[in-house]
Amino acid sequence: MAEFTMELNDDQKQVRDWIHGFAANVIRPAAAEWDEREETPWPVIQEAAKVGIYSLDFYAQQYFDPTGLGVPMAMEELFWGDAGIALSIVGTGLAAIGVLANGTEEQIGTWIPQMYGTPDDVKVAAFCSSEPDAGSDVGSMRTRAVYDQAADEWVLNGTKTWATNGGIANVHIVVAVVDPELGTKGHASFIIPPNTPGLSQGQKFKKHGIRASHTAEVVLEDVRIPGSCLLGGKEKLDERLARAREKAKAVDGDRLKNAAMATFEASRPAVGAMAVGTARAAYEVALDYARTRTQFGRPIIDNQGVAFQLADMRTQIDAARLLVWRASWMAVAGRPFTSAEGSMSKLFASEVAKKVTAQAVQILGGNGFTREYPVERMHRDAAIYTIFEGTSEIQRLVIARTLSGMPIR
């Protein structure tokens, strides 16, 4: 187990500089165009695939970095380039992780390559969990999966929402209810193969920010998939449901609940790193502008009102990065999040991104309010970080419950 460090090693620096170069030379020049078009930036994804950034191998290498800093470092640099395009590049990873975490070896080998396609024919995948009435409240999920034993098929019905790549994905991973009486313990995940009848795209959302990332509803109407498309297999599911029905002792229930919390906690620092990247990008634009913009015969950074804002912005960004790195290292090292450190990192970094991008707009004044400068787009993009992967209110609830041990509502 690697010791926690705030210094990247030579290999990590080389990877960071490589990703940064791609973000600077490929993502940034395309950012404004795809934000305006509000379409998936297929040419940029293809370029990412050609250089090896859009691939399972790349994310696996970062995920298995023993220091825990591989993923947050990569996320920060990509989202420094542009949040919408970066999310289009990394969105498939959500579905891939779902298969890696719960699938059999055969499912992993069969479906993950189909999620990415090839550099000449890139594909994307979608992870579908949220529903119109079940966002943070996953216990209200209504999408049902019913097993047809005679045909060895699962039949899915329901509507998913806020799905990144939903409807345009080659492969969809869908979370559905298999036993309503068991609440969240009665959920399972399913692979929906390409061109499966009954799956369609519903509403495509026209968003405030991250507009280069496709977000839509996914409608499932009598979708039939082979039994082999249940992630982990039916035997494993039946064993899990049987244990849940036995109403394990309270101590075991607490253990399972804490394990589930740990799983969510471990994924949140990556979102925090995305927020750090966007905040850093806006800060750098504001710093450069303040150095070169003159008013009353001198650069505006000579004014304390501007200089102090920049000082606070940089301090908050560095503090957010440290929280993200600490949580990322803890997750890889197997350290328990006794103070909900994962939620802390996501909460603080996302709030910093909103604040710093707003300050950047203010420092640029009227120019910051126009689309001629990127801080306007960055400010819109930053709004999502306090919403997805658990709102700021949910993060505070998780932290408060963890610290107090009380069921705060």
Annotation marks residue 131 as catalytic: no
Residue labelled with tokens 């496709």: 214
State the catalytic residue, choosing from 131, 265, 376, 389. 389
Residues labelled as active-site residues: 389
